[in-house]
Amino acid sequence: MAAAAAARLLRLAPRRLQVKTSPLAALSFPLPRTPPLAAASGRRQSFCAAAQASAHAPAAAAAAATGPAGEAVGEFRKRLRVADVKGGEDEGAAWVGKELAVRGWVRTCRAQRTVTFVEVNDGSCLSNMQCVLTPDTEGYDQIDSVTTGASVLVEGVVASSQGGKQKVELKVSKITVIGKSDPTSFPIQKKRASREFLRTVAHLRPRTNTFGAVTRVRNALAYATHKFFQDNGFVWVSSPIITASDCEGAGEQFYVTTLLSNSAEGGSLLKDIPATKDGRVDWSQDFFCKPAFLTVSGQLNGETYASALSDIYTFGPTFRAENSNTARHLAEFWMIEPELAFADLNDDMACATAYLQYVVKYILENCKEDMDFFNTWVEKGIIDRLNDVVEKKFVHLSYTDAVELLLGSKKKFEFPVEWGLDLQSEHERYITEVAFGGRPVIIRDYPKEIKAFYMRQNDDGKTVAAMDLLVPRVGELIGGSQREERLDHLEARLDEQNLNKESYWWYLDLRRYGSVPHAGFGLGFERLVQFATGIDNIRDAIPFPRVPGSAEF
């Protein structure tokens, strides 16, 4: 029976149907007594003879060890996943009567009088495979080890399910416990654990429904991001993580150093840190021979590549050494920063809109089960809210109009509203959530005093071509601008802000040699995950959050 079930293990070859591993190898996982090298030993022995000859006749050795060319192009064995069975429109109905094997982790085990129901999840989708065991099932003597968190191999026949919760279930002919899970100490039991607690077991939380779903949607958002930009001719550029350029202001930056690494037993001694005669840290002895930091943005580097390849995007980690213990801040987060050459602020806004609509549409279409889960358990109505983003036109208004709107409202705000002051989160959320009933809003043309030096000055002399894209719940999701491409204007702005022009030499070079109008935006990826899943706390939108006082795991 076991052999028959093993023979039915699906092998999905993505390109050509050629299977290289033997069915026996597939079975070897739950049976570690089968030496994993057995399958290879034949090849190894035959190679040995070849190896003896090889020193003198390399070509012959190569031929002997090869076999026919081209046999193994691009395939490898794929496990059958629960999503392969239950992920289709029919929720698995077409599989009824078929034999298969599922590997995964036990979510729950419910013993009834004559049968035992075991829910097995393999992370490929939210759905478990409901497995039905009877005392006749082979391996039933191990039933005491079939506890929450244990890993199992279940083999059997797919049947229509009597229960209303799923279309199909697995009548198990054999169960094998692969790895046990001590029921008294396993931290994630059946009862719902708080998200705060789950952060303390971040290595196990992806085994819960919520974090499994967040992980899959996060993955889909990342892939949709690449697809969108690649399909539109953008080139992915990796901006540097460590930077010794002074461009970004060191206020909220982490230092990267090896000066502390000659740690004595018990911790680094201060007296071991290289110092100059006047008692300062001697940066010339550091790894990069000067102070180095973790990047806060790849934008300036991205502009250099946009000034050569036209349209580029970065997608990588960025950092803030900001002591903010809030549900909106991380010390380490991923950022997406496209940069468009030969583009103005209107193009930038259109690109940001198209991007956001594309990725939201992508998860609504490709993560239906997970999105239904969020809609039911995390934020009721999130699917409608996201559909609005895809289908409705975004509101555009100027900063000046936004200030007028806020002043004209009867609402009392905590922070003052006045032309020249930055908009606070409460203002942004009022505009998108109340004034425009939940539609995304793009505010543009901010006062130059509250925006960065590189943003292009408008002809009014007061504002810059900057834009913020606001969404309900999250507030600012995207911030962008047309960049100042005129050398004289840019230098004047650096002077105004008392920034050191010499450290920007390469950035200014872009304006000296073939400067072009260009624009771009930045999007905090974890904010997007929050927006798309309804997850409240940004620490739950990234696998291992880094915040003040904690960089565990």
Mode of pairing for the β-strands spanning 168-179 and 129-133: parallel
Asked if 193 touches a copy of itself (CB under 8 A), the answer is no
Q: Please identify which residue in 162, 261, 277, 502 interacts with a copy of itself, judged by CB under 8 A.
A: 261
CB of 34 to a copy of itself, least distance (A): 10
Side by side, which strands form the sheet with 475-482?
235-236, 311-319, 332-341, 518-524, 475-482, 463-471, 441-447, 395-398
CB of 80 to a copy of itself, least distance (A): 10
Judged by CB, which is closer to a copy of itself: 169, or 303? Answer: 303
Residue among 235, 521, 485 at smallest CA distance from 354: 521
CB of 213 to a copy of itself, least distance (A): 11
For 322, the token pair is: 């900001």
Asked if 283 touches a copy of itself (CB under 8 A), the answer is yes
Residues in 214-233 at the binding interface with a copy of itself, rule: CB under 8 A: 215-216, 219, 222-223, 226, 230-233
The answer to whether 347 and 519 have CB atoms below 8 angstroms apart is yes
Judged by CB, which is closer to a copy of itself: 113, or 271? Answer: 271
The answer to whether 159 and 169 have CB atoms below 8 angstroms apart is yes
Residues in 506-525 at the binding interface with a copy of itself, rule: CB under 8 A: 506-507, 509-517
Q: Please identify which residue in 27, 256, 371, 532 interacts with a copy of itself, judged by CB under 8 A.
A: 256
User: At which residue do the structure tokens 């939201």 appear?
Assistant: 360
Stretch that binds a copy of itself, among 91-99, 131-139, 349-357, 416-424 (CB under 8 A): 349-357
Burial (CB < 10 A; 0-12, 13-18, 19+), residue 255, is middle
Asked if 246 touches a copy of itself (CB under 8 A), the answer is no
Asked if 250 touches a copy of itself (CB under 8 A), the answer is yes
CB of 359 to a copy of itself, least distance (A): 10
Consecutive H or E run containing 365: helix 345-366
Asked if 267 touches a copy of itself (CB under 8 A), the answer is yes
Instruction: State how far Cα 187 lies from the chain centre.
Output: 25
CB of 21 to a copy of itself, least distance (A): 6
The answer to whether 427 and 440 have CB atoms below 8 angstroms apart is no
Judged by CB, which is closer to a copy of itself: 159, or 396? Answer: 396
One-letter amino acid of 544: F
Residues in 98-157 at the binding interface with a copy of itself, rule: CB under 8 A: 103-106, 122-124, 149-151
Asked if 301 touches a copy of itself (CB under 8 A), the answer is yes
CB of 143 to a copy of itself, least distance (A): 16
Question: From residue 365 to residue 404, what is the string marking binding to a copy of itself with x (rule CB under 8 A)?
Answer: -------------------------xxxxxxxxx--x--x
Residue among 429, 456, 450, 452 at smallest CA distance from 440: 429
Judged by CB, which is closer to a copy of itself: 111, or 250? Answer: 250
The two most distant CA atoms of the chain are separated, in Å, by 91
CB of 131 to a copy of itself, least distance (A): 15
121: left (phi over 0), alpha (psi -120 to 50) or beta: beta
Stated length of the chain: 553
Query: Cα separation of 214 and 224, whole Å?
Result: 15
User: At which residue do the structure tokens 């797919």 appear?
Assistant: 158
Residues in 21-50 at the binding interface with a copy of itself, rule: CB under 8 A: 21, 25, 28-29, 32, 35-37, 39-40, 43-44, 47-48
Asked if 257 touches a copy of itself (CB under 8 A), the answer is yes
For 338, the token pair is: 């496209």
CB of 110 to a copy of itself, least distance (A): 18
CB of 98 to a copy of itself, least distance (A): 20
